[in-house]
Amino acid sequence: MNIAVFDSGVGGTSVLDHLQSKLPHTRFYYFMDNLYRPYGKLTLSTLHKRLLAKLRTAIQMVPTIDLIVVACNTASTQGLDFLRASTNIPIVGVVPAIKPASAMSQKSVGLLATPATVKSAYVNNLVEQYVPDKPVYLYGSTELVHLAEEKFWKGSVSLSKVRRELQALSIHQDVDCLVLGCTHFPILKEEIQAILGESVQLIDSGSAIAERVFFY
């Protein structure tokens, strides 16, 4: 089986890790779009153009793709229907883990994602549908996408830069479960956890996506 995994940058590798351990005999092809990253700042029409361009490149390079994993919350929340209408290849997307976070949280849920994801109708629907009984706080950050890239390529990142960004976002003190709704953010999980403390549970969609692809 051949699976193409796609993100704006290295964020999708946080999903790829789960996929590779769940499906060790599958061949994965990873595509990124460094020229147009961060996706969280693109207009919808540019995002769609880029997704289509990347889809074409992927099909050209690997004509035998069996499945595409859009390992990017921004592209999934705003471009999944568009992409599905453009190809017959099955596509699995990533959705911020708001539903499981709601079950885990006692007080309030936080969503840390890109500015585009937190503003999306998709996320608003998820919140309305799955978190009827507690407050949900939304935080959009592009800086954390840059810092995750920095950590991935350099091997480390300055903790104070991550702290400065989290302080600027002023995460509400009642948030006890924070959804990492951008695939870049699990790369900074250690730093985010150290800064916010153990009382905040961090959750992402990596293992759920791997599970979904496994049973595909």
In the DSSP assignment, the letter for residue 209 is H
Site membership for ligand DGL, residue 38 (CB under 6 A): yes
Question: Of the two residues 108 and 114, which places its CB atom closer to ligand DGL in the complex?
Answer: 114
Distance CA 91, CA 73 (A): 13
Site membership for ligand DGL, residue 40 (CB under 6 A): yes
Q: Which of 50, 54, 151, 184 binds ligand DGL (CB under 6 A)?
A: 184
Site membership for ligand DGL, residue 39 (CB under 6 A): yes
Q: Which of 102, 105, 108, 117 binds ligand DGL (CB under 6 A)?
A: 117
Query: How many degrees, rounded to 5, is the angle at CA 195 between CA 193 and CA 201?
Result: 30
Distance CA 203, CA 81 (A): 25
Site membership for ligand DGL, residue 72 (CB under 6 A): yes
Which is the catalytic residue, given 42, 72, 91, 136?
Answer: 72
Containing H/E element for 175? strand 175-180
Distance CA 171, CA 138 (A): 9
Containing H/E element for 136? strand 136-140
Catalytic (active site) residue 182: yes
Site membership for ligand DGL, residue 136 (CB under 6 A): no
Which is the catalytic residue, given 182, 187, 188, 196?
Answer: 182
Q: What is the pairing mode between strands 136-140 and 27-31?
A: unpaired
Site membership for ligand DGL, residue 145 (CB under 6 A): yes
Catalytic (active site) residue 177: no
Site membership for ligand DGL, residue 204 (CB under 6 A): no
First-residue to last-residue Cα distance in the chain: 11
User: Where along the sequence are the contacts to ligand DGL (CB under 6 A)?
Assistant: 7-9, 11, 37-40, 72-74, 114, 117, 145, 182-184
List active site positions. Answer: 72, 182
